[in-house]
């Protein structure tokens, strides 16, 4: 009896945040490549669906990754996988820098006919719309559109709270860092929960301005770091323009109207397996008091959650050498004298938190949401214990 050939699996990525190119298929094995951000050389984010795979071991090789944006992000990394697009776990993944220009090999045996793979659990624009709609209906919340992206998508902002402290929380300047919007979901849920003590306290002390997704175009297009024009938004804060970065221009103009006392720019880091903060050291207008308040917040957050640490992170800029094109530095410089602004960049891992590893899920949406609650509780304590 002749051998019956095993039908090839099918791989698709023509959907919200999809990104993959199929180079070759043979049975349940595939050779793949990640598409670059349109108009830029960045590539690292992937998100695709595999069909026809029930009970069959998949061998998916993503090639050419030594030239990716952050090749140090691949050692120790495990791809996210889901069969229902709700629960995301981690698949067996290995890295070989020498094979085919740098190859990440994912092996997984789905129980059903379909499986989705992604660099991190995706946060779709549909879920974003649901988040904004739900929050906008909460008591005391107002919604406004700060402007539109290059593709015509709204830059949503949610405002709430009755206090005098102007707080800005914003995420996904880099669209592939989806853990940032999972964090925003956790923050919004806490702040709109009438039964949460920290939520009630913070609403009394602060006026919050929440931008869950600064870069909806890049998010939908499956980009890692850029908008529809291939522009890295977190290098535009010194001089945003309608032609290159209308998203930043809209947000920064709104910040100029309110002023900023405290801000967190939420991100994900490809290489460092830890949660950490980056501050504004090196801005020309640096003051010791401003720096001390940032250090005090870090200390409170480290005490409140074991998911945060201060050993690992980015190098600190030399005095006067801060990059004012980045939002954290720009805000601390722009609003330092008028508001004593304390701004920071929060980084979460694409890999796992090596201090508290979870082999099944790695760093996850649930941990991102919980970290938001911890960050807000730390903000509450920071405000209640500050010197007047």
Spatial separation of the C-alpha atoms in residues 266 and 251, rounded to whole Å: 15
> In this structure, are residues 212 and 135 in contact, taking their beta carbons and an 8 Å threshold?
no
Spatial separation of the C-alpha atoms in residues 303 and 171, rounded to whole Å: 24
Active-site residue, from 347, 381, 384, 387: 347
The H or E element containing residue 51 is strand 47-51
Q: Which residues of 272-305 are buried (b: 16+ CB within 10 A; e: fewer)?
A: bbbbbbbbbbbbeebeeebbebbebbbebbbebb
Compute φ and ψ for 271, nearest 5 degrees.
-100, -35
Q: Which segments of the chain does DSSP mark as H helices, in order?
A: 125-136, 179-191, 197-205, 216-221, 246-258, 288-304, 327-339, 365-384
Assign 326 to helix, strand or coil: coil
> In this structure, are residues 50 and 115 in contact, taking their beta carbons and an 8 Å threshold?
yes
Helices (H) and strands (E) in the chain, counts: 8, 17
CA distances (Å), origin 366, targets 65, 93, 135, 184, 362: 28, 22, 19, 12, 10
**Other beta carbons within 10 Å of 37:** 27
29 is catalytic: no
Tell me the CB-side half-sphere exposure of residue 140, using CA atoms within 13 A. Answer: 18
> Which active-site residues does the annotation give?
347
């Amino acid at each position: 009896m002749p051998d019956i050939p095993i039908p090839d699996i099918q791989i698709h990525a023509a959907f919200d945040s999809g990104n993959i190119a199929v180079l070759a298929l043979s049975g349940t094995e595939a050779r793949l490549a990640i598409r670059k951000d349109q108009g830029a050389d960045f590539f690292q984010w992937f998100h695709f669906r595999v069909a026809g795979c029930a009970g069959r071991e998949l061998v998916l090789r993503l090639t050419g990754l030594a030239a990716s944006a952050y090749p140090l992000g691949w050692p120790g990394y495990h791809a996210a996988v889901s069969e229902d697009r709700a629960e995301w776990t981690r698949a067996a993944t290995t890295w070989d820098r020498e094979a085919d220009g740098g190859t990440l090999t994912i092996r997984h045996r789905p129980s059903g006919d379909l499986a989705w793979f992604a660099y991190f659990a995706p946060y779709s624009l549909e879920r974003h719309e649901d988040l904004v709609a739900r929050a906008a209906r909460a008591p005391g919340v107002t919604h406004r559109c700060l402007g539109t992206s290059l593709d015509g998508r709204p830059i949503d902002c949610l405002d709430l709270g009755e206090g005098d402290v102007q707080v800005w929380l914003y995420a996904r300047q880099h669209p592939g860092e989806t853990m940032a919007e999972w964090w925003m979901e956790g923050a919004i849920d806490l702040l709109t929960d009438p039964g949460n003590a920290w939520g009630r306290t913070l609403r009394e002390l602060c006026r919050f301005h929440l931008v869950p997704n600064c870069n909806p175009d890049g998010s939908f297009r499956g980009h890692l770091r850029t908008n529809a024009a291939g522009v890295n938004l977190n290098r535009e804060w010194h001089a945003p323009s309608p032609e290159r970065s209308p998203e930043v221009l809209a947000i920064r103009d709104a910040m100029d109207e309110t002023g900023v006392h405290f801000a967190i720019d939420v991100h994900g880091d490809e290489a460092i397996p830890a949660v950490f903060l980056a501050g504004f050291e090196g801005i020309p207008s640096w003051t010791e008091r401003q720096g001390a308040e940032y250090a005090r917040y870090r200390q409170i957050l480290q005490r409140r959650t074991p998911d945060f640490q201060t050993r690992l992170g980015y190098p600190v800029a030399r005095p006067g050498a801060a990059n004012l094109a980045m939002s954290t530095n720009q805000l601390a410089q722009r609003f330092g004298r008028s508001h004593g602004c304390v701004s920071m960049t929060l980084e979460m891992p694409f890999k796992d938190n090596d201090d508290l590893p979870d082999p099944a899920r790695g760093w996850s949406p649930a941990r991102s949401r919980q970290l938001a609650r911890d960050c807000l509780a730390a903000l509450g304590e920071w405000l209640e214990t500050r010197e007047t």
